[in-house]
């Protein structure tokens, strides 16, 4: 099976998407193209022989002919021999075709700079987190997301209590008043994001939100050039469970914000009805870096559109204690010298 790519109409070199200029620039002849230019040449790429087979995981690189091996959920990858981007188009058709995409707005250089700034001020970071060959592995990935539009209405019944305490003579009194609380409310939610890949940690993907939906455009495979991409392996029904969880929490927070003036509040019933209005499948840009330390992978992720960065650098306790005892030993030596000088006087 063949994989597809996007080539320069002038010299046939592979084109890569440039987030800064929102264009495709040829690194060899210097030609630069806008999306409409590539669309006019799309017929060339449609002539590639691409079968509708989903269980094949070996592809021929269109640039050098080498075999590219992927898992079944990879939609765009790199050839390890020539570095060419291979866009596996049959994994981007039919139900697998995203309706939209948010293109990368930050470059790899910016992602590396952000990581290095994040590492600053962490003197006890393990040496693995400072190695250039590790940091250079940071990779731009288009992550599949489901977007849900939903209408929700909630009905809450509960009890509020106010407690007042006072002292009179030798006695201390406590008075508790209880009140019935009834709250109803509704809300419309638009484009609730849930990542559609089991490969990516849900908490990490939540942490790099929000994405600016004003930057969303109609999907075309050309935006994948120069990046990795995944197709969903968590369908919209399964992913909706997480969307429901987010809706429920938002409704509970909204309703609770209208209840005040009580010492304590307990709810006996909380009913939230949800009605899905629309579901969209899209791809969001994420810069990702995995660094292994003591047999554990540490993930760092950056929103490829806004630059929001998340991750956690562990402490090298060996380095910490070496520094601690070095400082302590030095301080102890200075103190001993001072006491010695005082004893001589």
Identity of the highest mean pLDDT range in 38-52, 145-159, 315-329: 145-159
Cα 254 from Cα 166, distance rounded (Å) = 34
Q: End-to-end distance of the chain based on CA atoms, in angstroms?
A: 90
* Strand 228-230 relative to strand 139-168, pairing: parallel
Mean pLDDT (the chain, rounded) = 81
Q: Which residues pair with 160 in a beta bridge?
A: 179, 265
Dump pLDDT digits (tens) for 11-54. 667 788 888 888 888 877 778 888 888 777 765 545 433 333 33
- CA 39, distance to chain mean position in Å, is 29
Per DSSP, the three-state class of 46 is: helix
Does residue 88 surpass a pLDDT of 50? yes
Phi, psi of 44 (to 5 degrees): -60, -40
pTM (predicted TM-score): 0.76
Burial of 308: CB neighbours in 10 Å, binned 0-12, 13-18, 19+:
middle
DSSP per residue, 47-72 = TS-----SS--EEE-TTT--EEE--T
Query: How much of the chain exceeds pLDDT 70, in percent?
Result: 75
* Spatial CA neighbour of 306 closest among 114, 76, 77: 114
Return all residues near 176 (Cβ < 8 A) that are at least 6 apart. 161, 162, 163, 164
Q: Which residues pair with 16 in a beta bridge?
A: 25
Phi, psi of 75 (to 5 degrees): -105, -20
Dump pLDDT digits (tens) for 219-273. 988 888 888 888 898 999 999 999 999 999 999 999 999 999 999 999 999 999 9
Helices (H), 41-141: 42-46, 108-119, 132-135
Cβ 291 vs Cβ 311: under 8 Å: no
Phi, psi of 138 (to 5 degrees): -55, 135
Cβ 4 vs Cβ 86: under 8 Å: yes
Tokens matching residue 263: 């010492």
Say which range, 108-112, 165-169, 228-232, 252-256, has the weakest mean pLDDT.
228-232
Residue 81 banded pLDDT, cuts 50, 70, 90 = very low
Return all residues near 79 (Cβ < 8 A) that are at least 6 apart. 61, 63, 64, 66, 68, 85, 86
pLDDT score of 344: 47
Cα 48 from Cα 2, distance rounded (Å) = 7
pLDDT score of 61: 63
pLDDT score of 127: 83
Cβ 108 vs Cβ 271: under 8 Å: no
Q: Which residue has the higher pLDDT, 287 or 339?
A: 287
pLDDT score of 183: 94
Per DSSP, the three-state class of 290 is: strand
Does residue 332 surpass a pLDDT of 70? no
Does residue 182 surpass a pLDDT of 80? yes
Burial of 343: CB neighbours in 10 Å, binned 0-12, 13-18, 19+:
exposed
């Amino acid at each position: 099976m063949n994989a597809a790519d996007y080539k320069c109409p002038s010299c046939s070199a592979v084109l890569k998407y440039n987030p800064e200029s929102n264009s495709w620039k040829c690194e060899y002849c210097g030609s630069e193209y806008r999306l409409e230019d590539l669309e006019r040449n799309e017929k060339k790429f449609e002539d590639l022989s691409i079968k509708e087979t989903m269980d094949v995981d070996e592809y021929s690189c269109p640039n050098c002919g080498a075999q590219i091996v992927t898992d079944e959920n990879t939609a765009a990858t790199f050839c390890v021999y020539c570095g060419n981007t291979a866009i596996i188009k049959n994994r981007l058709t039919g139900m697998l075709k995203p309706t939209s995409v948010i293109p990368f707005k930050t470059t790899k250089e910016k992602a590396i700079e952000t990581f290095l700034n994040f590492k600053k001020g962490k003197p006890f970071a393990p040496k693995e987190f400072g190695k250039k060959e590790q940091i250079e592995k940071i990779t731009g990935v288009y992550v599949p997301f489901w977007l849900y539009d939903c209408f929700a209405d909630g009905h809450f019944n509960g009890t509020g209590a106010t407690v007042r305490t006072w002292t009179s003579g030798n006695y201390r009194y406590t008075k508790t008043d209880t009140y019935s609380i009834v709250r109803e409310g509704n809300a419309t939610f638009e484009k609730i994001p849930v990542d559609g890949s089991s490969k990516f940690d849900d908490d990490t993907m939540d942490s790099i939100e929000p994405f600016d939906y004003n930057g969303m455009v109609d999907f075309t495979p050309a935006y994948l050039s120069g990046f990795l991409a995944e197709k969903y392996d968590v369908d919209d029904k399964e992913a909706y469970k997480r969307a429901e969880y987010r809706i429920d929490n938002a409704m509970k927070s909204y309703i609770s914000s209208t209840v005040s003036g009580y010492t304590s509040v307990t709810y006996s019933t909380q009913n939230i009805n949800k009605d899905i209005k629309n579901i969209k499948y899209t791809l969001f840009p994420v810069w990702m870096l995995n660094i292994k330390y003591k047999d554990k992978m540490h993930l760092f992720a950056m929103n490829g559109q806004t630059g929001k960065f998340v991750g956690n650098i562990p402490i090298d306790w060996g380095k910490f204690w070496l520094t601690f005892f070095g400082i302590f030993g030095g301080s102890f030596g200075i103190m001993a010298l001072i006491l010695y000088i005082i004893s001589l006087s």
